[in-house]
Amino acid sequence: MAEVSWDELRVEVQGRPVFVRRGPRVPGSVPIVHVHGFAVSGSYLLPTAAALAHRATTLVPDLPGYGQSAARDHVLGLPSLARALLEVLDALDLERVVLVGNSMGGPVCLEVAHGARDRVAGVVLASPAGGMHNQPLPRALVQLARDVWRESPRMAPVVLPDYLHFGPVNALQLFGELVRFPSLERVLRTPVPTLAVIGTRDPLMPPRWRVQELGRLAPPDLTIAVIEGAAHAMNFSHPRELAHVIGSWLDGREIADDPEEPGLAQVLEIRRGDG
């Protein structure tokens, strides 16, 4: 994978600076915007963002109150984060984008797509959190604790400073809202082409049979893919596999295992109507 040089920008959103990383410009492309999960910054998304930077202008913001963006006096809920993301797009003069959201970033992207479908060419949901499988909150906390031991140890020094900066009280408050978010209902009614990518080792995601059931219910614009061996933060642990899946979907190609990454992950597409 070629090394990517990131420009560091700050744009004003609601009177406060928001930090954005921008890769090399790719003329004529629909920009790809990567949206991080709760309590962390966009830093852990950079491996997948770098793997996609050759095909489109790629941007990785820290949402308001996260990472290197200005602190807030209160935690923004999911609808407010979606509005802030739209303001980031406005500040960057991005008329239409592909959104790639991990964990909480998934619901934020879905909110943007439902509220401003003309701005969104497509949505990628990598391990989209929220909904019945994560309820009630104590169950979700157990799932989150189990996931910690399944992630790459290399991720700890990347995200731990973000968690400490965000604070445990703020994290618990936002996590509770995330758990209550009706992800499944929003996904099944998505108004734009959507790709959902699930890791088989992710305790926050539904079991395989539930994913297959969702595949049978999926509308034509929803594609579901599975990356074998990935946990919740697949954008960090499996960047080449995830980028391959996203690139295949964007190109309208069949999603299959990446021949250049043998043995790392098996990528399977679950088609509508499969049993």
Which run of H or E residues covers position 144? helix 137-148
- What residue segments make up the domains of the chain, in order of their start? 7-270
For every residue of 91-126, DSSP letters joined together read HTT-SSEEEEEEETHHHHHHHHHHH-GGGEEEEEEE
Q: List, for residues 193-217, the tens digit of each pLDDT value.
A: 999 999 989 887 777 666 766 767 7
Q: List, for residues 147-189, the tens digit of each pLDDT value.
A: 888 888 899 899 989 888 888 888 878 878 887 888 877 888 8
Question: Does the pTM exceed 0.85?
Answer: yes
- Judged on CB neighbours under 10 Å (0-12, 13-18, 19+), 51 is buried
Domain 7-270 bears CATH identifier 1.10.287.3610 = no
Cis peptide leading into 107, omega within 30 of 0? no
- The amino acid sitting at 101 is G
Beta strand 222-227 pairing with 16-22:
unpaired
Length of the chain (residues): 275
